Structure 1
Amino acid sequence: MNRLAKRIAREAIVLRIIWMLVFLLVWQIAVPLLGLVVLAQLVFRLIYAAPHQNLMSFGDSLSQYLLQIGRFEVFSTDEKPWPIADWPQAYPAEGEAAYQSRKEVDTAE
């Protein structure tokens, strides 16, 4: 390997380390945020007997974001998560149906 190739490889790993540190800090914020979403969803479920649609969607996309960070951190992928890439889209819910207000039920009929 020539000197230029070694220098480029060294610069690439230094840049990767910087991104890894940034995403490690983001992880430290996102995990407690997911915990708050879980608690809010639990309270909503206990009060209304069904989960909240927006909390379901945000919680799912946030958990996918954490997955993307984890995969980047352990070198499973070179794709950087948001804000470099798009925010992950939530998957369709497979569990309980989301809460619908009376207004939503009336307009659906």
Structure 2
Amino acid sequence: MSQKITITEPSKEDLLVLMDNFSDPQQERYEAYRRSTLNKSVIKKLISSILNQSVSSELAFVVAGFGKVFIGEIVEKAREVQEQWGDEGALSPEHLREAYRRYQKDTGLIPATIYRKRRFN
């Protein structure tokens, strides 16, 4: 007998409680994250060039969403690196490179591929 699992969306009240507990820098980063987007036409072109075929707008939308989440994770890791190194101010390329390296080491999710463009280095 299988059980039915229901996943519910977080309520607006839960989100407000969370946001009320953000520090000022966290609040600013969250607001910047919510406002930011990746250009869907550029993403669509990139996917098309990698796959050598046309792709739907829906696929570009999904890939852009995953890209935004990935960028967010790298930035958060870079903030951790910056804090561990005792640096202050804006993130530097060194923080981003180290965050990328740690992400790759921790997850193993970024394998070497034939398609290589310049990353952070």
- TM-score band by shorter chain is 0.3 to 0.5
TM-score (norm 2): 0.30
Where is the helix percentage greater, Structure 1 or Structure 2? 1
Which of structures 1 and 2 has the larger relative contact order (alpha carbons within 8 angstroms, sep 6+)?
Answer: 1
Query: Larger C-alpha radius of gyration, 1 or 2?
Result: 1
